[in-house]
Amino acid sequence: MRIKRDSIYPDNLLQEIFSGKKYQNALLSFPDDIEQRLDDAMSRYEERSLEIMLLRYKEGLTLQRIGEIYGISRERVNQIIAKMIRRLKSRYNVTRLLGEETANIFFPVKVKSGPMQSKESINT
């Protein structure tokens, strides 16, 4: 994934969200208000998680320093960040960030088919 933007935040967080095979060769173009969309998506979760994400990705603090601020271990900070990244990678949040049309490229809409018919009901 290649990002076309100038600032560090939210690019550093967007790279985390849109990493992996699904987005490997995608050239994503983000809306102008992507930072606001990202902040809105994160604000749905616990305040402490949001603060930790902003300290990490906006302020550039280390996991160790964030842990010291909150009185938790570096590993716990890492777990909180990983959980938030997983949440932000959900179809719901990707749709909020990129728009429904673009999100459908990465999360195709599944068409539900009707109930399966048995061979007996087809032949009779």
Find out whether 66 and 59 touch, Cβ atoms under 8 Å. no
**Top-level CATH class of 2-99?**
mainly alpha
In three-state secondary structure terms, 41 is helix
Quote the CA–CA distance of 106 and 32 in Å, as a whole number. Answer: 21
pLDDT in tens, 72-119: 999 999 999 999 999 999 999 999 999 898 888 888 877 666 565 555
pLDDT in tens, 16-64: 999 888 887 777 788 889 999 999 999 999 999 999 999 999 999 999 9
pLDDT band at 6 (very low <50, low <70, confident <90, very high): very low
What backbone phi and psi angles, to 5 degrees, belong to 3? -115, 135
The domain limits of the chain are 2-99
